[in-house]
A and B are shown apart, each in its own frame.
Chain A
Amino acid sequence: MTDPRHAPIRTGNPPAGALSGYGDADKVRDMLRGTSPADVATAASAYDDATRRLHELRDLLFHLVRRHGEDPAAEGSPSLAALRRLLADAEHLLAAARAMSEALRAYGGEILPWYIEHAPEHGAVQDDVDQYMRRLNARITELWHAFPEKIDGAADAPPPKRRTTLASASPSPDAKDDDKSSPEHHNGNQQQQQIVPMIGIPMGGMGGGRGGSGSRSRSRKGTRRRMDVPSPSVKPGPGLIPDREPRILTPAAETAKKPAPKLTAPLKPSLPSMPPAPEPGWTPPVSVADSLTPKPAASAPAEPAPPQSPIAEALSAPREDEPKS
């Protein structure tokens, strides 16, 4: 059986999805509403809890490794090696849990809800429905790279929360190419040219009375600069700016970018105090390293020499608590 720490998680090619063929607007909307973002978000929460637990474990193991490593004689001992291996495993799992949590939270907490809320409505032009799905699939492709390659490996892409440009409003290259290469978009009617930011739905054909208010739209003026607006003259109508834009990169969000997970030592590990060290100069007979080796009785000589004096006799005498033969 493959060690789960080395087993691949991302296999094959990223999921690209089809360019079209998902059906009309009604079918796509039903398809989106058949998903369960809450279940995906639940899994993300579980990884959050695992992250917290692993964080505590990592701190504890780091503390133990540091304390044990203070003993020069323990260097190379099995106990120290075991603790170091546990520490490395905990760090790998911690990074994997973070990546999984953030990827799932982006999908179940932001991307899916947004696309469900802004699914094409009845009567939407088929090209726009297809483009809507291409955009959604592009987000899925990006998200796929945020999953760890394996437990002790890294993700191709930083987690979505930190790599907000991944989920930015700028269209994916293939989507942009699709827009440009599609003759219908260049030769079609004006309605098809008026594309709502983010999802590319014709202004006249999609959810005109839904979404945010005009003031909210104005508040997002800064963010719209980075949206997929094919022509600067085309402005979205009121109510077409979504309430929540999971892929918008605002300057505030950029400055509030979360720092990369730091896997180094915590400055002040919240650990209970270790047992106090004995008085200086006291030396135990064997080290932890020795006791963990397959020679448990290293402190007693295998064949004691015959006593030559009362002192030697006392030193070689059997212990009082041992049964007399």
Chain B
Amino acid sequence: MTEPNHGGTAHDHEFARGAAALLRRELARPSTPGSPADVTVRTNTPAAAFGSWDAAGALAGTAARGHAEFTAAYRLLFSEIRTAAEALERSAETVQDAEDDNVDRVGRVRELLDGGPKAGGASPDGGPQETS
């Protein structure tokens, strides 16, 4: 496991956000040709289309199994892509929140260092303190 502050990259949350957006964009075309719904409908070929004799019937059975398994796996892929996009979005939020928090803390420390600690100590909420 990566340690905080030592294993991240400079673009972790931006990468995650961008990746999620790209995946979302791919998912945003539900009814275009080639979508799982479209493929499911168009590959539903009746067995009679292949022929009524023995070999053609067996081929139709193989094709039907192929249609069923392919469309199921195809839908599963899109479902997993949606899940991955959601996970990336969550991770981007988490990283962004942690980053904002750290920036705030560092800012407060810098102000303290620049201005020096006032008698009585810093306010509990860590707000900026004016020095005159």
Contacts and interface: CB of A to CB of B under 8 A. Distances in A.
A284 interface: yes
B11 A278 contact: yes
Contact of B7 (A70, A82, A290): A290
Nearest to A12: B58
A35 B58 contact: no
Contacts of B28: none
Nearest to B94: A291
A253 interface: no
A287 B2 contact: yes
Contact of B13 (A10, A16, A284, A289): A284
Contacts of B73: 4-5, 89, 92-93, 96, 151
Interface string B8-48: 11111111111100110010000011110011011111101
Given A140-B59, A314-B122, A319-B104, A284 B112 contact: no
The A interface, classified by DSSP as helix, strand, loop or mixed, is helix
Interface size class of B (residues with CB under 8 A): 35 or more
A68 B7 CA distance: 13
Contacts of B23: 60, 64
Contact of B66 (A31, A147, A291, A324): A147
B76 A288 contact: no
Interface stretch (A71-79, A197-205, A213-221, A258-266): A71-79
Given A9-B65, A15-B59, A310-B112, A285 B99 contact: yes
A288 B15 contact: yes
A131 to B, nearest CB: 14
Interface stretch (A44-52, A178-186, A188-196): A44-52
A284 B10 contact: yes
Interface in A292-307: 292-293, 296, 298-300
Interface in A135-171: 136-137, 140-141, 143-144, 147-148, 150-151
**9 closest pairs, A vs B, by CB?**
A15-B58, A17-B55, A49-B34, A46-B42, A4-B72, A53-B34, A73-B7, A36-B49, A299-B98
Given A8-B65, A31-B51, A78-B87, 15 more contacts: A7-B72, A17-B53, A36-B46, A39-B46, A46-B41, A56-B26, A86-B77, A89-B76, A100-B66, A280-B10, A282-B10, A284-B12, A287-B8, A310-B121, A311-B112
